[in-house]
Structure 1
Amino acid sequence: MARPGHRRHGWRVRLRHLYEAPAPEAKRFRYALLGLDALSLGWIVAASFLGPTGPALAVDVVLGLVLLGEYGLRLAASGKPVRAALHPLNLADLLAILSLLLAPLLHGALAFLRVLRTLRLVHSVRLLTSLRSDLPFFRRNEEAALAAAQLCVFLFIMSGLVFELQHRTNPGIRNFADALYFTVTTLTTTGFGDVTLPGTLGRLLSVVIMLAGVTLFLRLAQALFRPVKVRFPCPSCGLSRHEPDAVHCKACGTLLNIPDEGAG
Protein backbone atom coordinates (compact mmCIF):
# COMPACT_ATOMS: atom_id res chain seq x y z
CA MET A 1 0.00 0.00 0.00
CA ALA A 2 1.42 3.39 -1.01
CA ARG A 3 2.26 5.71 1.82
CA PRO A 4 0.63 9.20 1.94
CA GLY A 5 3.95 10.91 1.20
CA HIS A 6 4.42 8.82 -1.94
CA ARG A 7 0.88 9.59 -3.11
CA ARG A 8 1.45 13.32 -2.66
CA HIS A 9 4.73 13.07 -4.54
CA GLY A 10 2.98 11.17 -7.35
CA TRP A 11 0.37 13.91 -7.70
CA ARG A 12 3.10 16.51 -7.92
CA VAL A 13 4.92 14.56 -10.62
CA ARG A 14 1.72 14.26 -12.66
CA LEU A 15 1.01 17.97 -12.30
CA ARG A 16 4.55 18.87 -13.35
CA HIS A 17 4.08 16.61 -16.35
CA LEU A 18 0.98 18.58 -17.38
CA TYR A 19 2.70 21.95 -17.01
CA GLU A 20 6.07 21.10 -18.56
CA ALA A 21 6.08 17.89 -20.60
CA PRO A 22 5.94 17.84 -24.43
CA ALA A 23 3.37 15.00 -24.38
CA PRO A 24 0.08 15.58 -26.28
CA GLU A 25 -2.12 15.53 -23.17
CA ALA A 26 0.17 18.06 -21.46
CA LYS A 27 0.01 20.36 -24.47
CA ARG A 28 -3.78 20.11 -24.53
CA PHE A 29 -3.81 21.08 -20.86
CA ARG A 30 -1.67 24.15 -21.55
CA TYR A 31 -3.86 25.15 -24.50
CA ALA A 32 -6.84 24.94 -22.14
CA LEU A 33 -4.99 27.31 -19.80
CA LEU A 34 -4.49 29.74 -22.70
CA GLY A 35 -8.21 29.54 -23.38
CA LEU A 36 -8.91 30.29 -19.72
CA ASP A 37 -6.66 33.36 -19.88
CA ALA A 38 -8.41 34.52 -23.06
CA LEU A 39 -11.76 34.08 -21.33
CA SER A 40 -10.65 36.10 -18.31
CA LEU A 41 -9.34 38.92 -20.50
CA GLY A 42 -12.52 38.96 -22.55
CA TRP A 43 -14.45 39.30 -19.32
CA ILE A 44 -12.34 42.34 -18.35
CA VAL A 45 -13.58 44.16 -21.43
CA ALA A 46 -17.19 42.97 -21.12
CA ALA A 47 -17.42 43.83 -17.41
CA SER A 48 -16.45 47.45 -18.10
CA PHE A 49 -19.63 47.81 -20.20
CA LEU A 50 -21.88 46.04 -17.67
CA GLY A 51 -20.83 47.89 -14.54
CA PRO A 52 -20.83 46.45 -10.98
CA THR A 53 -24.16 44.63 -11.25
CA GLY A 54 -25.01 41.58 -9.17
CA PRO A 55 -24.57 39.02 -11.99
CA ALA A 56 -21.31 40.65 -13.11
CA LEU A 57 -19.89 40.49 -9.58
CA ALA A 58 -20.95 36.84 -9.33
CA VAL A 59 -19.06 36.04 -12.55
CA ASP A 60 -16.02 37.84 -11.08
CA VAL A 61 -16.07 35.59 -8.01
CA VAL A 62 -16.63 32.36 -9.98
CA LEU A 63 -13.83 33.22 -12.41
CA GLY A 64 -11.60 34.10 -9.47
CA LEU A 65 -12.24 30.70 -7.87
CA VAL A 66 -11.38 28.89 -11.12
CA LEU A 67 -8.15 30.88 -11.51
CA LEU A 68 -7.30 30.31 -7.84
CA GLY A 69 -7.64 26.56 -8.40
CA GLU A 70 -5.26 26.74 -11.37
CA TYR A 71 -2.86 28.87 -9.32
CA GLY A 72 -2.81 26.22 -6.60
CA LEU A 73 -2.16 23.46 -9.11
CA ARG A 74 0.71 25.48 -10.60
CA LEU A 75 2.35 25.88 -7.20
CA ALA A 76 1.83 22.21 -6.38
CA ALA A 77 3.56 21.28 -9.64
CA SER A 78 6.61 23.28 -8.61
CA GLY A 79 9.42 21.55 -6.80
CA LYS A 80 9.50 24.42 -4.29
CA PRO A 81 5.95 25.81 -3.87
CA VAL A 82 6.88 28.49 -1.34
CA ARG A 83 9.70 29.81 -3.51
CA ALA A 84 7.44 29.71 -6.58
CA ALA A 85 4.72 31.63 -4.72
CA LEU A 86 7.20 34.40 -3.96
CA HIS A 87 8.16 34.85 -7.62
CA PRO A 88 7.11 38.37 -8.74
CA LEU A 89 4.96 37.08 -11.62
CA ASN A 90 3.17 34.60 -9.37
CA LEU A 91 2.62 37.30 -6.75
CA ALA A 92 1.12 39.54 -9.43
CA ASP A 93 -1.07 36.66 -10.59
CA LEU A 94 -2.29 36.09 -7.02
CA LEU A 95 -3.18 39.76 -6.66
CA ALA A 96 -5.08 39.58 -9.95
CA ILE A 97 -7.04 36.59 -8.65
CA LEU A 98 -7.78 38.29 -5.33
CA SER A 99 -9.07 41.33 -7.21
CA LEU A 100 -11.70 39.02 -8.74
CA LEU A 101 -12.57 37.22 -5.53
CA LEU A 102 -12.97 40.51 -3.66
CA ALA A 103 -14.92 42.17 -6.48
CA PRO A 104 -18.08 42.68 -4.33
CA LEU A 105 -15.96 44.62 -1.83
CA LEU A 106 -13.88 46.65 -4.29
CA HIS A 107 -15.21 50.15 -3.95
CA GLY A 108 -13.41 53.49 -3.92
CA ALA A 109 -9.64 53.23 -3.67
CA LEU A 110 -9.69 49.42 -3.62
CA ALA A 111 -11.14 49.34 -7.12
CA PHE A 112 -7.63 50.19 -8.35
CA LEU A 113 -6.72 46.55 -7.67
CA ARG A 114 -9.02 45.44 -10.49
CA VAL A 115 -6.41 46.56 -13.02
CA LEU A 116 -4.14 43.77 -11.77
CA ARG A 117 -6.28 41.16 -13.49
CA THR A 118 -4.77 42.29 -16.82
CA LEU A 119 -1.47 40.82 -15.60
CA ARG A 120 -2.87 37.42 -16.60
CA LEU A 121 -1.54 38.35 -20.05
CA VAL A 122 2.01 37.86 -18.75
CA HIS A 123 1.06 34.32 -17.81
CA SER A 124 -0.30 33.74 -21.34
CA VAL A 125 2.98 34.87 -22.93
CA ARG A 126 4.90 32.39 -20.77
CA LEU A 127 2.54 29.61 -21.85
CA LEU A 128 3.02 30.49 -25.52
CA THR A 129 6.78 30.15 -25.24
CA SER A 130 6.35 26.66 -23.79
CA LEU A 131 4.21 25.67 -26.80
CA ARG A 132 6.56 26.93 -29.52
CA SER A 133 7.13 23.40 -30.82
CA ASP A 134 3.45 23.23 -31.85
CA LEU A 135 3.36 26.65 -33.49
CA PRO A 136 5.68 26.82 -36.53
CA PHE A 137 4.83 30.47 -37.23
CA PHE A 138 5.60 31.39 -33.61
CA ARG A 139 8.84 29.41 -33.72
CA ARG A 140 10.00 31.08 -36.94
CA ASN A 141 9.10 34.57 -35.73
CA GLU A 142 9.55 34.10 -32.00
CA GLU A 143 11.28 37.38 -31.31
CA ALA A 144 8.71 39.46 -33.22
CA ALA A 145 5.82 37.49 -31.68
CA LEU A 146 7.12 38.05 -28.15
CA ALA A 147 7.67 41.76 -28.85
CA ALA A 148 4.09 42.03 -30.13
CA ALA A 149 2.79 40.11 -27.13
CA GLN A 150 4.65 42.40 -24.73
CA LEU A 151 3.20 45.42 -26.51
CA CYS A 152 -0.29 43.93 -26.08
CA VAL A 153 0.41 43.31 -22.40
CA PHE A 154 1.39 46.96 -22.01
CA LEU A 155 -1.71 48.13 -23.88
CA PHE A 156 -4.08 46.09 -21.73
CA ILE A 157 -2.41 46.97 -18.44
CA MET A 158 -2.28 50.70 -19.19
CA SER A 159 -5.83 50.68 -20.55
CA GLY A 160 -7.00 48.97 -17.38
CA LEU A 161 -5.14 51.54 -15.29
CA VAL A 162 -6.64 54.43 -17.25
CA PHE A 163 -10.13 52.94 -16.94
CA GLU A 164 -9.96 52.35 -13.19
CA LEU A 165 -8.50 55.79 -12.47
CA GLN A 166 -10.77 57.76 -14.79
CA HIS A 167 -14.15 56.14 -15.48
CA ARG A 168 -15.82 57.57 -12.36
CA THR A 169 -14.86 61.19 -13.03
CA ASN A 170 -13.89 61.48 -16.70
CA PRO A 171 -16.86 61.55 -19.14
CA GLY A 172 -14.54 60.54 -21.98
CA ILE A 173 -13.67 57.23 -20.30
CA ARG A 174 -16.90 55.26 -19.93
CA ASN A 175 -15.64 51.71 -20.55
CA PHE A 176 -12.52 49.70 -21.33
CA ALA A 177 -12.83 50.43 -25.06
CA ASP A 178 -12.61 54.18 -24.38
CA ALA A 179 -9.55 53.61 -22.22
CA LEU A 180 -7.95 51.44 -24.91
CA TYR A 181 -8.67 54.13 -27.52
CA PHE A 182 -6.98 56.78 -25.37
CA THR A 183 -3.99 54.52 -24.67
CA VAL A 184 -3.42 53.71 -28.36
CA THR A 185 -3.75 57.32 -29.54
CA THR A 186 -1.37 58.45 -26.80
CA LEU A 187 1.10 55.61 -27.34
CA THR A 188 1.28 56.34 -31.07
CA THR A 189 1.55 60.10 -30.31
CA THR A 190 -1.47 60.67 -32.58
CA GLY A 191 -3.17 62.63 -29.82
CA PHE A 192 -6.57 63.50 -31.31
CA GLY A 193 -7.40 65.44 -28.15
CA ASP A 194 -11.04 64.31 -27.90
CA VAL A 195 -10.15 62.35 -24.73
CA THR A 196 -7.67 63.69 -22.20
CA LEU A 197 -6.68 62.83 -18.64
CA PRO A 198 -7.01 65.95 -16.46
CA GLY A 199 -4.83 66.82 -13.51
CA THR A 200 -1.21 66.15 -12.68
CA LEU A 201 -1.72 62.40 -12.25
CA GLY A 202 -3.44 62.19 -15.64
CA ARG A 203 -0.63 64.04 -17.39
CA LEU A 204 2.04 61.88 -15.74
CA LEU A 205 0.18 58.73 -16.78
CA SER A 206 0.03 60.02 -20.37
CA VAL A 207 3.79 60.64 -20.31
CA VAL A 208 4.44 57.08 -19.09
CA ILE A 209 2.26 55.67 -21.87
CA MET A 210 4.10 57.70 -24.52
CA LEU A 211 7.63 56.94 -23.33
CA ALA A 212 7.12 53.24 -22.66
CA GLY A 213 5.01 52.82 -25.80
CA VAL A 214 7.66 54.29 -28.09
CA THR A 215 10.24 51.90 -26.61
CA LEU A 216 8.01 48.88 -27.19
CA PHE A 217 7.14 50.00 -30.72
CA LEU A 218 10.82 50.38 -31.58
CA ARG A 219 11.56 46.91 -30.26
CA LEU A 220 8.72 45.44 -32.32
CA ALA A 221 9.89 47.27 -35.46
CA GLN A 222 13.45 46.06 -34.90
CA ALA A 223 12.24 42.47 -34.53
CA LEU A 224 10.11 42.74 -37.70
CA PHE A 225 12.65 44.35 -40.01
CA ARG A 226 15.91 42.85 -38.77
CA PRO A 227 17.08 39.91 -40.92
CA VAL A 228 15.41 36.71 -39.72
CA LYS A 229 17.70 34.44 -37.71
CA VAL A 230 17.20 31.16 -35.91
CA ARG A 231 18.14 30.31 -32.36
CA PHE A 232 20.63 27.45 -32.20
CA PRO A 233 23.47 27.49 -29.63
CA CYS A 234 26.87 26.86 -31.17
CA PRO A 235 28.39 23.84 -29.37
CA SER A 236 31.80 25.55 -29.26
CA CYS A 237 31.35 29.27 -28.58
CA GLY A 238 27.67 29.43 -27.58
CA LEU A 239 26.57 31.98 -30.20
CA SER A 240 22.81 31.46 -30.29
CA ARG A 241 21.60 33.38 -33.37
CA HIS A 242 22.47 32.29 -36.90
CA GLU A 243 21.16 32.69 -40.44
CA PRO A 244 18.62 29.95 -41.23
CA ASP A 245 20.89 28.39 -43.87
CA ALA A 246 24.13 28.71 -41.89
CA VAL A 247 26.47 25.73 -42.11
CA HIS A 248 29.28 27.12 -39.94
CA CYS A 249 29.22 29.42 -36.93
CA LYS A 250 30.25 32.89 -38.07
CA ALA A 251 32.02 33.50 -34.73
CA CYS A 252 34.23 30.41 -34.45
CA GLY A 253 33.69 28.41 -37.66
CA THR A 254 32.32 25.30 -35.94
CA LEU A 255 30.15 23.05 -38.11
CA LEU A 256 26.47 23.53 -37.25
CA ASN A 257 23.57 21.17 -37.62
CA ILE A 258 20.57 23.49 -37.44
CA PRO A 259 17.24 21.57 -37.65
CA ASP A 260 15.41 22.39 -40.88
CA GLU A 261 11.74 21.63 -41.55
CA GLY A 262 12.36 21.75 -45.27
CA ALA A 263 10.49 23.73 -47.93
CA GLY A 264 6.72 23.24 -47.90
Structure 2
Amino acid sequence: MEELHRTIRLLYTGRSQGARRFRYGLVVFDALTIAYFIATAALPMTPMMMAVNAGLGVLILLDLAARFWISDNRRRELARIYTLADLVVVASLLLGPLLAENLAFLRVLRGLRLIHAYHLLRDLRRESLFFRRHEDAVLAAVNLFVFIFVITSLVFVLAFDEQAGVAGYIDALYFTVATLTTTGFGDITMTTPGGKLLSVFIMVVGVALFVQLARAIFQPSKVKYDCPECGLNRHEPDAIHCKHCGEPLKIETEGETGM
Protein backbone atom coordinates (compact mmCIF):
# COMPACT_ATOMS: atom_id res chain seq x y z
CA MET A 1 0.00 0.00 0.00
CA GLU A 2 2.87 2.39 0.78
CA GLU A 3 4.39 1.69 -2.63
CA LEU A 4 1.07 2.47 -4.35
CA HIS A 5 0.77 5.68 -2.33
CA ARG A 6 4.30 6.70 -3.36
CA THR A 7 3.61 5.90 -7.02
CA ILE A 8 0.42 7.97 -7.09
CA ARG A 9 2.10 10.88 -5.30
CA LEU A 10 4.92 10.85 -7.87
CA LEU A 11 2.43 10.86 -10.72
CA TYR A 12 0.58 13.88 -9.32
CA THR A 13 3.58 15.85 -8.01
CA GLY A 14 6.74 14.39 -9.56
CA ARG A 15 8.97 16.02 -12.17
CA SER A 16 9.69 12.98 -14.34
CA GLN A 17 8.62 12.85 -17.98
CA GLY A 18 6.04 10.18 -17.16
CA ALA A 19 4.54 12.30 -14.38
CA ARG A 20 4.34 15.34 -16.65
CA ARG A 21 2.60 13.30 -19.34
CA PHE A 22 0.16 11.95 -16.76
CA ARG A 23 -0.71 15.47 -15.60
CA TYR A 24 -1.12 16.69 -19.17
CA GLY A 25 -3.47 13.74 -19.67
CA LEU A 26 -5.50 14.93 -16.66
CA VAL A 27 -5.63 18.43 -18.15
CA VAL A 28 -6.97 17.02 -21.42
CA PHE A 29 -9.51 14.88 -19.52
CA ASP A 30 -10.70 17.90 -17.51
CA ALA A 31 -11.05 20.01 -20.67
CA LEU A 32 -12.96 17.26 -22.50
CA THR A 33 -15.38 16.64 -19.63
CA ILE A 34 -16.09 20.37 -19.37
CA ALA A 35 -16.75 20.52 -23.13
CA TYR A 36 -18.94 17.41 -22.91
CA PHE A 37 -21.15 18.83 -20.16
CA ILE A 38 -21.58 22.08 -22.09
CA ALA A 39 -22.40 20.24 -25.33
CA THR A 40 -24.94 17.90 -23.72
CA ALA A 41 -26.60 20.40 -21.39
CA ALA A 42 -29.68 20.71 -23.60
CA LEU A 43 -29.81 17.19 -25.06
CA PRO A 44 -32.47 14.67 -23.95
CA MET A 45 -31.10 11.93 -21.73
CA THR A 46 -30.58 8.59 -23.46
CA PRO A 47 -29.33 5.25 -22.07
CA MET A 48 -26.00 5.83 -23.81
CA MET A 49 -25.59 9.27 -22.23
CA MET A 50 -26.52 7.86 -18.82
CA ALA A 51 -23.79 5.22 -19.22
CA VAL A 52 -21.23 7.83 -20.30
CA ASN A 53 -22.21 10.08 -17.38
CA ALA A 54 -21.84 7.21 -14.91
CA GLY A 55 -18.41 6.34 -16.36
CA LEU A 56 -17.27 9.96 -16.11
CA GLY A 57 -18.57 10.10 -12.55
CA VAL A 58 -16.44 7.10 -11.59
CA LEU A 59 -13.32 8.56 -13.25
CA ILE A 60 -13.78 11.95 -11.60
CA LEU A 61 -14.35 10.23 -8.26
CA LEU A 62 -11.13 8.19 -8.67
CA ASP A 63 -9.18 11.37 -9.43
CA LEU A 64 -10.67 13.08 -6.37
CA ALA A 65 -9.88 10.06 -4.17
CA ALA A 66 -6.27 9.96 -5.39
CA ARG A 67 -5.73 13.68 -4.76
CA PHE A 68 -7.30 13.38 -1.33
CA TRP A 69 -5.20 10.30 -0.45
CA ILE A 70 -1.86 11.95 -1.25
CA SER A 71 -2.75 15.36 0.19
CA ASP A 72 -0.71 16.58 3.16
CA ASN A 73 -3.68 18.64 4.35
CA ARG A 74 -6.87 16.75 3.58
CA ARG A 75 -9.13 19.22 5.34
CA ARG A 76 -7.85 22.05 3.15
CA GLU A 77 -8.13 19.86 0.03
CA LEU A 78 -11.74 19.05 0.89
CA ALA A 79 -12.55 22.73 1.44
CA ARG A 80 -11.36 23.83 -2.02
CA ILE A 81 -14.18 25.18 -4.18
CA TYR A 82 -13.39 22.96 -7.14
CA THR A 83 -13.25 19.87 -4.89
CA LEU A 84 -16.71 20.64 -3.50
CA ALA A 85 -18.00 21.32 -7.02
CA ASP A 86 -16.62 18.01 -8.27
CA LEU A 87 -18.24 16.14 -5.36
CA VAL A 88 -21.61 17.64 -6.32
CA VAL A 89 -21.01 16.78 -9.99
CA VAL A 90 -20.05 13.18 -9.13
CA ALA A 91 -23.21 12.81 -7.02
CA SER A 92 -25.38 14.12 -9.87
CA LEU A 93 -23.72 11.77 -12.37
CA LEU A 94 -23.92 8.63 -10.27
CA LEU A 95 -27.40 9.27 -8.88
CA GLY A 96 -28.88 10.35 -12.22
CA PRO A 97 -29.55 6.80 -13.50
CA LEU A 98 -31.30 5.95 -10.21
CA LEU A 99 -33.86 8.73 -10.61
CA ALA A 100 -37.09 8.17 -12.48
CA GLU A 101 -36.58 11.36 -14.49
CA ASN A 102 -33.61 13.37 -15.66
CA LEU A 103 -34.35 16.26 -13.35
CA ALA A 104 -33.43 19.65 -14.78
CA PHE A 105 -31.43 20.70 -11.72
CA LEU A 106 -28.92 17.91 -12.41
CA ARG A 107 -27.89 19.75 -15.58
CA VAL A 108 -27.07 22.84 -13.56
CA LEU A 109 -25.09 20.75 -11.08
CA ARG A 110 -23.07 19.20 -13.89
CA GLY A 111 -22.32 22.70 -15.12
CA LEU A 112 -20.38 23.17 -11.88
CA ARG A 113 -17.68 21.02 -13.51
CA LEU A 114 -16.64 24.33 -15.11
CA ILE A 115 -15.33 25.37 -11.71
CA HIS A 116 -12.76 22.59 -12.07
CA ALA A 117 -11.15 24.83 -14.70
CA TYR A 118 -9.52 26.65 -11.77
CA HIS A 119 -7.81 23.41 -10.76
CA LEU A 120 -6.68 23.05 -14.36
CA LEU A 121 -5.18 26.55 -14.13
CA ARG A 122 -3.22 25.53 -11.04
CA ASP A 123 -1.68 22.64 -12.98
CA LEU A 124 -0.88 24.90 -15.93
CA ARG A 125 0.81 27.40 -13.59
CA ARG A 126 3.21 24.65 -12.62
CA GLU A 127 3.72 23.26 -16.13
CA SER A 128 3.62 26.20 -18.54
CA LEU A 129 5.89 29.26 -18.69
CA PHE A 130 3.52 30.87 -21.22
CA PHE A 131 0.67 30.57 -18.75
CA ARG A 132 2.71 32.09 -15.92
CA ARG A 133 3.49 35.09 -18.11
CA HIS A 134 -0.14 35.64 -19.13
CA GLU A 135 -1.87 34.30 -16.02
CA ASP A 136 -3.97 37.38 -15.30
CA ALA A 137 -5.47 37.49 -18.80
CA VAL A 138 -6.11 33.72 -18.89
CA LEU A 139 -7.68 33.74 -15.42
CA ALA A 140 -9.92 36.69 -16.30
CA ALA A 141 -11.05 34.89 -19.46
CA VAL A 142 -11.79 31.72 -17.49
CA ASN A 143 -13.77 33.73 -14.91
CA LEU A 144 -15.92 35.13 -17.70
CA PHE A 145 -16.26 31.75 -19.45
CA VAL A 146 -17.31 29.95 -16.27
CA PHE A 147 -19.78 32.68 -15.37
CA ILE A 148 -21.40 32.70 -18.82
CA PHE A 149 -21.98 28.96 -19.04
CA VAL A 150 -23.04 28.40 -15.43
CA ILE A 151 -25.58 31.23 -15.76
CA THR A 152 -26.65 29.94 -19.18
CA SER A 153 -27.43 26.55 -17.63
CA LEU A 154 -29.40 28.27 -14.86
CA VAL A 155 -31.36 30.44 -17.32
CA PHE A 156 -32.09 27.40 -19.49
CA VAL A 157 -33.55 25.49 -16.55
CA LEU A 158 -35.54 28.43 -15.15
CA ALA A 159 -36.89 30.04 -18.31
CA PHE A 160 -37.10 27.36 -20.98
CA ASP A 161 -39.11 24.19 -21.30
CA GLU A 162 -37.20 20.91 -21.13
CA GLN A 163 -38.31 20.14 -24.69
CA ALA A 164 -36.68 23.35 -25.97
CA GLY A 165 -33.53 21.36 -26.72
CA VAL A 166 -30.44 22.86 -28.33
CA ALA A 167 -32.34 25.85 -29.74
CA GLY A 168 -33.53 26.71 -26.23
CA TYR A 169 -30.01 26.43 -24.84
CA ILE A 170 -28.73 28.75 -27.56
CA ASP A 171 -31.50 31.22 -26.67
CA ALA A 172 -30.43 30.98 -23.00
CA LEU A 173 -26.82 31.67 -24.01
CA TYR A 174 -27.97 34.56 -26.21
CA PHE A 175 -30.02 36.06 -23.36
CA THR A 176 -27.10 35.68 -20.93
CA VAL A 177 -24.59 37.42 -23.20
CA ALA A 178 -27.04 40.15 -24.25
CA THR A 179 -27.84 40.87 -20.60
CA LEU A 180 -24.23 40.59 -19.48
CA THR A 181 -23.12 43.17 -22.07
CA THR A 182 -26.18 45.35 -21.26
CA THR A 183 -27.02 45.33 -24.98
CA GLY A 184 -30.69 44.85 -24.15
CA PHE A 185 -32.23 43.79 -27.47
CA GLY A 186 -35.43 42.93 -25.60
CA ASP A 187 -36.48 40.01 -27.83
CA ILE A 188 -35.98 37.59 -24.91
CA THR A 189 -36.87 38.97 -21.47
CA MET A 190 -37.53 37.81 -17.95
CA THR A 191 -41.01 38.70 -16.68
CA THR A 192 -41.00 37.35 -13.12
CA PRO A 193 -39.43 39.21 -10.16
CA GLY A 194 -36.91 36.41 -9.73
CA GLY A 195 -36.00 36.55 -13.41
CA LYS A 196 -35.54 40.33 -13.27
CA LEU A 197 -33.27 40.01 -10.23
CA LEU A 198 -31.25 37.36 -12.07
CA SER A 199 -30.90 39.78 -15.00
CA VAL A 200 -29.61 42.48 -12.65
CA PHE A 201 -27.11 40.02 -11.19
CA ILE A 202 -25.89 39.04 -14.68
CA MET A 203 -25.42 42.69 -15.67
CA VAL A 204 -23.55 43.74 -12.52
CA VAL A 205 -21.24 40.75 -12.33
CA GLY A 206 -20.80 40.51 -16.11
CA VAL A 207 -19.66 44.11 -16.53
CA ALA A 208 -17.15 43.65 -13.70
CA LEU A 209 -15.76 40.50 -15.36
CA PHE A 210 -15.49 42.23 -18.74
CA VAL A 211 -13.57 45.13 -17.18
CA GLN A 212 -11.28 42.66 -15.41
CA LEU A 213 -10.55 40.88 -18.70
CA ALA A 214 -9.86 44.10 -20.59
CA ARG A 215 -7.51 45.34 -17.87
CA ALA A 216 -5.65 42.02 -17.80
CA ILE A 217 -5.19 42.09 -21.59
CA PHE A 218 -4.00 45.67 -21.93
CA GLN A 219 -1.97 46.19 -18.77
CA PRO A 220 1.79 45.40 -18.88
CA SER A 221 2.43 41.67 -18.55
CA LYS A 222 3.93 40.50 -15.26
CA VAL A 223 4.69 37.08 -13.84
CA LYS A 224 3.97 35.70 -10.39
CA TYR A 225 7.15 35.07 -8.41
CA ASP A 226 7.52 35.61 -4.65
CA CYS A 227 10.53 37.69 -3.72
CA PRO A 228 12.31 35.73 -0.95
CA GLU A 229 13.17 38.97 0.88
CA CYS A 230 10.10 41.26 0.79
CA GLY A 231 7.39 38.99 -0.61
CA LEU A 232 6.52 41.12 -3.67
CA ASN A 233 4.87 38.61 -6.02
CA ARG A 234 4.57 40.53 -9.30
CA HIS A 235 7.59 41.19 -11.49
CA GLU A 236 8.45 41.92 -15.11
CA PRO A 237 9.20 38.69 -17.02
CA ASP A 238 12.89 39.61 -17.50
CA ALA A 239 13.48 41.04 -13.99
CA ILE A 240 16.69 39.93 -12.29
CA HIS A 241 16.23 42.06 -9.15
CA CYS A 242 13.16 42.85 -7.09
CA LYS A 243 11.91 46.37 -7.89
CA HIS A 244 10.92 46.86 -4.25
CA CYS A 245 13.95 45.68 -2.27
CA GLY A 246 16.65 44.85 -4.82
CA GLU A 247 16.86 41.15 -3.90
CA PRO A 248 18.21 38.97 -6.76
CA LEU A 249 15.46 36.97 -8.47
CA LYS A 250 15.60 33.69 -10.36
CA ILE A 251 12.49 33.87 -12.54
CA GLU A 252 12.27 31.00 -15.02
CA THR A 253 12.60 32.37 -18.56
CA GLU A 254 13.15 31.09 -22.08
CA GLY A 255 15.75 33.78 -22.71
CA GLU A 256 16.25 35.99 -25.73
CA THR A 257 17.21 34.79 -29.18
CA GLY A 258 19.55 36.92 -31.23
CA MET A 259 19.15 37.59 -34.96
TM-score, normalised to structure 1's length? Answer: 0.84
Cα offset, 1:81, TM superposition: 4.3
Cα offset, 1:51, TM superposition: 1.0
Corresponding letter in the other structure for 1:215: A
1:35 to 28, 51, 55: 28
Q: 3-state DSSP class of the match of 1:48? A: coil
Q: Map of 1:123-142 to 2, 5 A cutoff?
A: 123-142=116-135
Q: Determine if the alignment matches structure 1 residue 236 to structure 2 residue 229.
A: yes
> Deviations for 1:21-61, whole angstroms, at most 9, x for unmatched residues?
23222222222222222222222233234312333333222
Q: 3-state DSSP class of the match of 1:246? A: coil
2:181 alignment counterpart: 188
Going from structure 1 to structure 2, the CA distance change for 1:112 and 1:226 (only over 3 Å counts) comes to same
2:55 alignment counterpart: 62
2:66 alignment counterpart: 73
Going from structure 1 to structure 2, the CA distance change for 1:201 and 1:77 (only over 3 Å counts) comes to same
2:158 alignment counterpart: 165
| C-alpha distance in structure 1 between counterparts of 2:223 and 2:26, whole Å | 28
Is residue 172–residue 178 contact of structure 1 (8 Å, CA) maintained in 2?
no
| C-alpha distance in structure 2 between counterparts of 1:259 and 1:191, whole Å | 46
Is residue 170–residue 197 contact of structure 1 (8 Å, CA) maintained in 2?
no
Between the two proteins, the alignment pairs up a number of residues equal to: 256
1:3 alignment counterpart: none
Q: Determine if the alignment matches structure 1 residue 211 to structure 2 residue 199.
A: no
Corresponding letter in the other structure for 1:37: D
| C-alpha distance in structure 2 between counterparts of 1:81 and 1:249, whole Å | 35
Going from structure 1 to structure 2, the CA distance change for 1:174 and 1:48 (only over 3 Å counts) comes to farther
Indicate the structure whose relative CO is greater, using CA pairs within 8 Å and at least 6 residues apart.
Answer: 2
2:6 alignment counterpart: 13
Deviates more, 1:159-168 or 1:40-49: 40-49
Q: Determine if the alignment matches structure 1 residue 51 to structure 2 residue 21.
A: no
Unpaired runs of at least 5, structure 1: 1-6
Cα offset, 1:144, TM superposition: 1.0
Is residue 182–residue 195 contact of structure 1 (8 Å, CA) maintained in 2?
yes
Corresponding letter in the other structure for 1:204: L
Q: Determine if the alignment matches structure 1 residue 254 to structure 2 residue 225.
A: no
1:149 alignment counterpart: 142
Q: Determine if the alignment matches structure 1 residue 224 to structure 2 residue 182.
A: no
TM-score, normalised to structure 2's length? Answer: 0.85
Cα offset, 1:163, TM superposition: 1.7
Corresponding letter in the other structure for 2:132: R
Corresponding letter in the other structure for 2:24: Y
Cα offset, 1:171, TM superposition: 6.2
Is residue 231–residue 241 contact of structure 1 (8 Å, CA) maintained in 2?
yes
RMSD: 2.7
| C-alpha distance in structure 2 between counterparts of 1:119 and 1:64, whole Å | 13
Is residue 34–residue 124 contact of structure 1 (8 Å, CA) maintained in 2?
no
> Deviations for 1:98-120, whole angstroms, at most 9, x for unmatched residues?
11122232748x53233122222
Going from structure 1 to structure 2, the CA distance change for 1:29 and 1:251 (only over 3 Å counts) comes to same
| C-alpha distance in structure 2 between counterparts of 1:151 and 1:58, whole Å | 31
Task: State the percentage of identical aligned residues.
Answer: 48
Going from structure 1 to structure 2, the CA distance change for 1:172 and 1:192 (only over 3 Å counts) comes to farther
| C-alpha distance in structure 1 between counterparts of 2:227 and 2:120, whole Å | 26
| C-alpha distance in structure 2 between counterparts of 1:165 and 1:263, whole Å | 53
Unpaired runs of at least 5, structure 2: none
Going from structure 1 to structure 2, the CA distance change for 1:106 and 1:85 (only over 3 Å counts) comes to farther
| C-alpha distance in structure 2 between counterparts of 1:58 and 1:79, whole Å | 34
